[in-house]
Structure 1
Amino acid sequence: MLINLVEKVVTKGMLIGGNWVETTEKLPVLNPHTGEEVYAISCATETHVYDALKSAAKGKIIARNLSAYDRSEIILKVASLLKERKEEFTQTIVNEGVKTKMEAGKEVDRCINTLTLCGEEAKRLTGETVPFNAFAGASAKKGHYVYDPVGIVTAITPFNDPLNLVAHKLGPAVAAGNAIILKPSDFTPISGIKLGELFLEAGLPSHVLNIITGPISNFGDILVTDSRVNMVSFTGGSKSGEAIAKAAGVKKIGMELGSSSPVIIMNDVDVNAVAENCVGGMIWAAGQNCVGVKRMYVHDAVYDAFKEKVVSLSKAVKLGNPEDEATDMGPIITNEAIDKIESSIADLEKGGYKVLCGGKRVNNSFEATIIEGDFDNVLNGKEEIFGPVATISKISSLEEGITASNDSPYGLHAGIFTNNIEVAFKATNELQCGGVMVNDSSDYRIDMMPFGGVKQSGIGREGVKSAIREMSTTKIICFNLKN
């Protein structure tokens, strides 16, 4: 039993047209560690979704007419309220999600930073002058471009960062002057709902934000396909992303999807320090992390020493109550997710890989797992294992590491450990991904940086400044000064 677990089930309604709407049909929200029901959410029908769309149609007019100052002040107020209630939100993340108390607290800190950045950037959404008179015959023309809101943004968020990833949708959307309809994960909806409450408390006008909850099977793909939606911003799996892209039609799409992030370890590094970095990147959020370390390609000169250290560290990872400060790694989100991890490991073993440590379920958690295999194995990088599992492979050169890293349908983040500047530059130039971390694992991100992938890892870029521009349209304005 969690120390601070809510004493009874808390029910939450949907936000539609400025009102909190309850339904008779409820969806239980379970604590992944204990399996107990801790919350219940209302389940939307098609009628609720159409009502939210009608509300958002009003909200987009209200939002675009808010001054940059007002947008900024609202978002900064949300950040301030969240800071005051950090413990409450930390506990919510632990109650419904997969993070330890320490990890949850850091997520709240990051969310405060994300919102603060959004509030600041709301005042910096600037355009640029265009030299129309640089073209022959246009000497009397002057102009510029500005950023306009796209209108209505549908935001669909995952379970693994239930607060900060919601902030990465709501904050930029409001900063850019849009209305937004949020559909949080059914597994972890409460953090997003509570953040929505803070936006209202901070003065966000009615209709600008609507929140729809419950199984999407109840209302289909209306939030994606409806012509009133101008942009879909989705974070989740690649298969779901592909389905959304096919259904959305002609509208803007922003997607941060799956990955199988590689790390290259060269022969000129501190093996112990790098191993600690990689294991930390593998087990954050119990490996349910899109940029978590999934593939380690290690130079043969340090391979044995690195393998010994990374296995030793993985064996020492402590599972248990996420409230306990001694716990290193929390639970897996569902039993079905554990089954999928086990199945993926079994497939790797059939394909010639060898489990060096871990590989087993412990109650609702999963052991930190290291699996050894050849870097050019046909299974290399082809599947994302959403859990604390990473492969380790021996390479004899940087070129082999780069080739193996790129041999994947994904391309979100990669890491390279080396003290050779030429090696570092070659890796950053040739690795096919959205971000390369030098002397850090793939599991590194700050909320201001452009964030996203290539290939099946996504479309467009998040990160506060980038997301605000993704949620805007460019409008060109030209004055003919000669009548």
Structure 2
Amino acid sequence: MPTIENLSAPVTIDVKSSQPQIQVLNPEDGSLVGTVVNNSLSEVDSIIEVAVLGAQKAKKLSSNIRMSVLNEVADNLSNQKELFAQMIAREGIKTINEARKEVSRCVETIRISAEEARRLTGETIAFDQAPGSENRFGYYRRIPLGVVAAITPFNDPLNLVAHKIGPAIAAGNSVIILPHHETPLVAKLLVELFNKTNLPKGILNLVTGYGVDIGDKIVSDPRINMVSFTGGKSVGERILSHVGLKKVSMELGSNCPVIVMNDANIELAMEACVSGAFWAAGQNCLHVQRIYIQDELYDQFASEFCLRASKISMGDKLSESTQMGPMINNRAALKVEAMVKDALEKNSTLLCGGKRQGNFFQPTVFANVSNDCLIAKEEVFGPITVLYRFTDKKEAIAQANDVEFGLQAGIFTNDLELAFELADSMDCGGVMINDSSDYRIDAMPFGGVKGSGVGREGVMNAVKEMTDIKTYCFNLRK
């Protein structure tokens, strides 16, 4: 069983949303990490007005200034990596080593954003292709939308904030960032880095509060020109019902599958899948939740996967030896526990784990899971992975696609033709060949199909989402 070192049940404090401040608690032990303002609706209204004025300033900023600001922030963040990593680990779910990797990715995200500011170009248009338009000449260019409202989750509290702020500024917009109320401190630190540059006031605006109280106000306000949201499917659906006629980009999670063929490099697949299954305690939209293993490899893979899962150490997030941290709160831990109970009641086979202690939940592996189990169809967002045996590739593809989500998938095979065939058959936004579903770089297009969202992130794509195309045509007839 996974080792649980020096754990105690976290203190649970019921913070009412009417209080003027939000207490940010360490989910490991319930200790106070810091506080942020709990913005009222009237304060949010004032911030939106500031952002509207900021949008007028932003669209006049040269690409040179946008690039300069973003590169300066990336440099300063790189020089303060440990400070930011410590904050990520203290207020959130990540171990210190996971947090350090997130900071490094954030630096890269902001640097890519700076590069995309220089690439925000248009094209000439051959108007003379139409009869009667021989004397016309024109082009299109990308122009900023105005005010972008960005709402981010707790699981990547720094890099996902950067994925909103960086592209918004690169595209010439103002932005209002609403970080998750349980992990707002590192977002605040990042905003402070921007405030130390020559970025004009009002272009970057931080709102802190509970989404249930102020979210509807932000997304429905007609002064907001775009909503960029990363989070759960149910909240995404609520936003869509309130947002009105404006641009929307949403990344809404998944139930990611991985297919392991008989000819796969089993060590490569094992290492990638264990990491993808239990990184950030499974609280990751790319979490490896379902693994389909062909007959010849199944027994060996299942045995080794459970052995490695059972050796994962949990405990002090700031310890260099800790491999997995807690769930974000007691409610999340109890949800995972309920999913385990549901699977057991429906005669699933528990291969390892399955126990909760406070907010910590052991790496858990199931087999023989029927389709009526919650862990088969829903997004667990916790450290649970289900193993399936299959014989025929068509069977694996059909089962892998048989969920309401479609963010990313992984395929392990040494057969190139088979890799193309399987990849083309997967209903998702991205397929990783000889990597798990959890692989991503910040420059690639990122998003899903079905219940996994609308639009694409990844810096270049986000910049395009955060602009409109404007066409110019000159009639040069003499």
2:261 corresponding residue in structure 1: 266
Q: 2:310 aligns with which of 315, 319, 329?
A: 315
What is the CA–CA distance in structure 2 between the aligned matches of 1:271 and 1:376, rounded to whole Å?
Answer: 27
Alignment of 1:182-201 (within 5 A): 182-201=177-196
Of the structure 1 ranges 347-356 and 320-329, higher mean CA displacement relative to structure 2 is found in 347-356
Q: Unaligned 5+ residue runs, structure 2? A: 6-17
2:375 aligned with 1:392: no
Q: 1:461 aligns with which of 456, 459, 474?
A: 456
1:115 corresponding residue in structure 2: 110
2:98 corresponding residue in structure 1: 103
Contact 1:268/1:419 (<8 A) preserved = yes
Q: Partner letter of residue 292 of structure 1?
A: H
2:299 aligned with 1:304: yes
1:139 corresponding residue in structure 2: 134
Change (3 A) 1:141 1:375: farther
Q: Residue 302 of structure 1 aligns to a residue in which SS?
A: helix
What is the CA–CA distance in structure 2 between the aligned matches of 1:364 and 1:24, rounded to whole Å?
Answer: 25
Alpha-carbon offset, residue 380 of structure 1: 6.8
What is the CA–CA distance in structure 2 between the aligned matches of 1:379 and 1:52, rounded to whole Å?
Answer: 41
Alpha-carbon offset, residue 276 of structure 1: 2.1
RMSD after superposition: 1.5
Q: 2:433 aligns with which of 433, 438, 449?
A: 438
2:465 corresponding residue in structure 1: 470
2:224 corresponding residue in structure 1: 229
1:173 corresponding residue in structure 2: 168
Alignment of 1:206-221 (within 5 A): 206-219=201-214, 221=216
Alpha-carbon offset, residue 38 of structure 1: 1.2
Q: 2:149 aligns with which of 137, 154, 159?
A: 154
Alpha-carbon offset, residue 349 of structure 1: 2.2
2:25 corresponding residue in structure 1: 30
Q: Which whole-Å deviations, capped at 9, do the CAs of 1:17-69 have from their partners, x for residues lacking one? A: xxxxxx97111100111211111111111110110111011000000000011
2:401 corresponding residue in structure 1: 406
Q: Partner letter of residue 447 of structure 1?
A: D
What is the CA–CA distance in structure 2 between the aligned matches of 1:274 and 1:143, rounded to whole Å?
Answer: 52
2:256 aligned with 1:294: no
1:279 corresponding residue in structure 2: 274
Q: Partner letter of residue 189 of structure 2?
A: K
Change (3 A) 1:322 1:378: closer
2:64 aligned with 1:66: no
1:18 corresponding residue in structure 2: none
Alpha-carbon offset, residue 427 of structure 1: 1.1
Q: Residue 104 of structure 1 aligns to a residue in which SS?
A: helix
1:11 corresponding residue in structure 2: none
2:37 corresponding residue in structure 1: 42
Q: 1:84 aligns with which of 69, 79, 87?
A: 79
Contact 1:376/1:404 (<8 A) preserved = no
1:329 corresponding residue in structure 2: 324
Q: Residue 162 of structure 2 aligns to a residue in which SS?
A: helix
Alpha-carbon offset, residue 275 of structure 1: 1.7
Q: Residue 377 of structure 2 aligns to a residue in which SS?
A: coil
Q: 1:56 aligns with which of 51, 56, 59?
A: 51
Alpha-carbon offset, residue 378 of structure 1: 6.7
Contact 2:369/2:376 (<8 A) preserved = no
What is the CA–CA distance in structure 1 between the aligned matches of 2:191 and 2:170, rounded to whole Å?
Answer: 15
2:415 corresponding residue in structure 1: 420
Alpha-carbon offset, residue 335 of structure 1: 0.5
TM score, norm. by length of structure 1: 0.93
Q: Residue 122 of structure 1 aligns to a residue in which SS?
A: helix
2:365 corresponding residue in structure 1: 370
Q: Partner letter of residue 199 of structure 2?
A: L
Q: Which whole-Å deviations, capped at 9, do the CAs of 1:203-232 have from their partners, x for residues lacking one? A: 211011111111234435110001000000
Contact 1:297/1:375 (<8 A) preserved = no
TM score, norm. by length of structure 2: 0.94
Q: Partner letter of residue 235 of structure 1?
A: T
Contact 1:380/1:408 (<8 A) preserved = no
What is the CA–CA distance in structure 2 between the aligned matches of 1:274 and 1:121, rounded to whole Å?
Answer: 34
Alpha-carbon offset, residue 352 of structure 1: 3.2
Q: Residue 471 of structure 2 aligns to a residue in which SS?
A: strand
Contact 1:272/1:309 (<8 A) preserved = no
What is the CA–CA distance in structure 1 between the aligned matches of 2:353 and 2:376, rounded to whole Å?
Answer: 20
Q: Which whole-Å deviations, capped at 9, do the CAs of 1:242-274 have from their partners, x for residues lacking one? A: 110111010000000020000001001232332
What is the CA–CA distance in structure 1 between the aligned matches of 2:299 and 2:226, rounded to whole Å?
Answer: 49
